[in-house]
Structure 1
Amino acid sequence: MTDSTVHPVGEGAPAIRDLRLGDLAKALRLGLRDFLRKPMMGLGFAAAYMVGGWLLYLLLFVTDQDWLAIPITVGFPLLGPFLAVGLYEVSRRLEAGQTEWARRDILGVIWRQRLRQLPSMAWVIIVYFLFWSFFAHMLFALFLGPSALTNVTSSYGYLLQREGILMLLVGTGFGAIFAFVLFALTVVSLPLLLDREVDFVTAMITSVSVVKQNFTVMVVWGVIIAGLTFLALLPGLLGLFVVLPVLGHGSWHLYRLATVTGPARNPHA
């Protein structure tokens, strides 16, 4: 590796490496390896994520807001990066050669993060999710009118009308933009905050810089995450038992491949 493959970001931030498409396969392979080495950890975090999703859908059903299921299904994965912090910690320990620990040790690390910068990133993600929900509500009313909001729970025929189809197309376009912006802000920032003492603004700047420097590779990574997550949601969220742990562990390894956080090493070795 030569110095031309390393790009400084700023004071306190790790330098950025150039990535190749092959690094994505490597990150997924290492993510699967970590999941198989500590499967109960991955299954535990995936179960918590799934239960949260089911409770959210149950709340919509009880409050007669079934129509929100579509934007919530699109927006719910936005919370995934923060909920995968535990998986980052598992991969960090395995990378350091640690193989034996109790689940409370991992949860303890996550709990101690409340005194650092991760809670600030959590608020960024939560506010972003709430804003997306509000935007979806506004889009629905704009295209279909207020009356559709009260009748769509008994009939989804509104969505098959011209306005409904147009709303879905526009919503999908805006949803993709929303998702990519949050992806750019969090894909590196969350594992970075867990790994190093930096402020959350620096972490987000570093994350965006990684995406800009490796735009094609990171777009492909975003498509992989979106595609696998969508497929995992179809069977009642059950696919998340495998997809979430592999992507969570894989995201940690992609962060390690994309940044210089210690002595320089060849990320393509």
Structure 2
Amino acid sequence: MSQHFKEPPQNAIADRGIGRVIPCKQLDASDPFKWLAQGGRDIMKTPGLTAFYGVIFALIPWLIVYLVQMTGWHLVIMPAMVCFMLIGPFLAAGLYDVSRELGKGHKPTLGHSLKAIKRNAVHEWGFGILLTVLMIFWLRVASLIHALYPPYLDETLEALLPFLLLGVAVGALFTLILLFISAFTQPILMERKVDLATAVMSSVNAVWVNKLPLLIWGAIIFTAVLIGFLTGFIGFLVLMPLIGYASWHGYIDTIATKRERKMP
């Protein structure tokens, strides 16, 4: 059964000298919830692989917190988060491969999913470095906002409110930028032999064309991460694989191909 285009492929931004823009399709506001349902079905079909990746995603933040508590050295957070930002795209590629194999009617395996990280390794490393640079920049801005807080003010909500609002506004801006550049970059790099600039520009274009559905999708991801932290990272055992699988289905729904995919 062939995949149906809701709208003809379109671009909101033009190709540039550094890369081209892969056309995207028009999405509905309800599509992110459909991706979650599809991701849930993938979990039911691959409980073993889901558990493997879920444990890794849950262990990493737990390890960061453990190192801080054990050493009392909060600066350990920085190198630990840098490492996570570098390897995160590769872990996500494994999840995407699981959903991709299911979509092709194949039986996913751990070996095959781990090999997914080597298909476009140079540009995937580049993407990890890009995320790391953004994270470091955000941490520096957060430190600057903290430094602006006068030490003589009382720690009351009224005194803290201007700085809290500033922090939330800047954090929301960085989150929005991250959504634009990362929504579909990783699955594009995993499936297609394209450069990093093409993948990032295509992701930015897709989010711009589909602002409402992708903002809903971003809110879903934020909620999943929040639940993961509130549950002491236990929620990541299921939530991170669910988001990974759903992201692949979102990519299939959003980024156009020259030929329609044949689904089993």
Q: Which amino acid aligns with 1:7?
A: Q
In structure 2, relative to structure 1, the CA distance for the partners of 1:237 and 1:186 (3 Å cut) is same
Residue number in structure 2 paired with 1:33: 41
Residue number in structure 2 paired with 1:246: 242
Q: Which amino acid aligns with 2:129?
A: W
Residue number in structure 2 paired with 1:108: 115
Cα distance in 1 for residues equivalent to 2:227 and 2:176: 18
Cα distance in 2 for residues equivalent to 1:265 and 1:89: 16
CA offsets, 1:152-205, max 9 Å, x none?
xxxxx94x4544343333212211111110111011111000010111011110
Q: Which amino acid aligns with 1:135?
A: V
**1:183 touches 1:222 (CA, 8 Å); kept in 2?**
yes
The correspondence for 2:103, drawn from 95, 101, 110, is 95
Residue number in structure 1 paired with 2:74: 65
- Give the TM-score normalised by structure 2: 0.82
Residue number in structure 2 paired with 1:23: 31
CA offsets, 1:244-267, max 9 Å, x none?
111110011001100112423699
The correspondence for 1:175, drawn from 167, 171, 178, is 171
> Offset of 1:14 from its aligned partner?
2.8
Cα distance in 2 for residues equivalent to 1:266 and 1:16: 18
SS of the residue corresponding to residue 99 of structure 1 reads coil
In structure 2, relative to structure 1, the CA distance for the partners of 1:105 and 1:212 (3 Å cut) is same
In structure 2, relative to structure 1, the CA distance for the partners of 1:36 and 1:14 (3 Å cut) is same
Residue number in structure 2 paired with 1:258: 254
Cα distance in 2 for residues equivalent to 1:225 and 1:237: 15
User: Percent identity over the alignment?
Assistant: 27
Alpha-carbon RMSD: 3.2
Q: Where in structure 1 are there 5+ consecutive unaligned residues?
A: 149-156
Map residues 44-63 of structure 1 onto 2, 5 A cutoff: 44-61=52-69, 62-63=71-72
Count of matched residue positions in the alignment of Structure 1 and Structure 2: 250
Residue number in structure 2 paired with 1:134: 140
Runs of 4+ residues over 6 Å off in structure 1: 76-79
Cα distance in 1 for residues equivalent to 2:86 and 2:166: 19
Q: Where in structure 2 are there 5+ consecutive unaligned residues?
A: none
> Offset of 1:108 from its aligned partner?
2.5
Cα distance in 2 for residues equivalent to 1:222 and 1:262: 27
**1:121 touches 1:200 (CA, 8 Å); kept in 2?**
yes
Cα distance in 2 for residues equivalent to 1:129 and 1:81: 14
SS of the residue corresponding to residue 17 of structure 1 reads coil
